[in-house]
């Protein structure tokens, strides 16, 4: 995913992506955040988590199917809890990877059909 300097342009482009592609990109950011956390680079990890949370907010703002709202807000809550909270949901890097892998697979299927 290309990160643009202009947030408005980014948000508009983000809204045009299919949900599975949005989630795959969010998963990529979470994977990067986990990588930097393992390397003990808290600053980089926090920057990437903040970007992932921003992308989740863009996704919430752009969804047309309100049934996804609950799931997206729960994902945002769980990511916040995992990286910044007490991890009350018992998340792990492996669990996040497994969760987002499904979106990566689906996004690739969509891209190959285009």
Domain presence at residue 93? yes
Cα–Cα dist 96/14, whole Å: 22
Q: pLDDT digits over 38-64, tens only?
A: 999 999 999 999 999 999 999 999 988
Structural domain including 106 reads: 7-113
pLDDT beyond 80 at 28: yes
Average pLDDT, the chain: 91
The per-residue DSSP string of 41-83 comes to -HHHHHHHHHHHHHHHHHHHHH-S-THHHHHHHHHHHHHHHHH
**What domain count does the chain have?**
1
Residue 88 confidence (pLDDT) = 98
pLDDT beyond 50 at 1: no
What average pLDDT does range 12-33 have in this prediction? 94
Instruction: Tell me, yes or no, if the pTM score tops 0.85.
Output: yes
Domain presence at residue 1? no
What is the DSSP-derived secondary structure letter of residue 2? P
């Amino acid at each position: 995913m290309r990160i643009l300097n202009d947030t408005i342009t980014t948000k508009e482009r983000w809204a045009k992506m299919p949900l599975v592609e949005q989630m795959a990109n969010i998963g990529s950011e979470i994977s990067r955040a986990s990588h930097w956390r393992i390397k003990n680079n808290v600053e980089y990890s926090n920057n990437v988590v903040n970007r992932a949370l921003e992308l989740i907010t863009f996704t919430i703002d752009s969804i047309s199917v309100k049934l996804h709202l609950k799931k997206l807000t729960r994902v945002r809550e769980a990511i916040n809890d995992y990286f910044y909270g007490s991890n009350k949901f018992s998340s792990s890097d492996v669990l996040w990877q497994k969760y987002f892998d499904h979106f990566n697979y689906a996004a690739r299927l969509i891209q190959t059909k285009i």
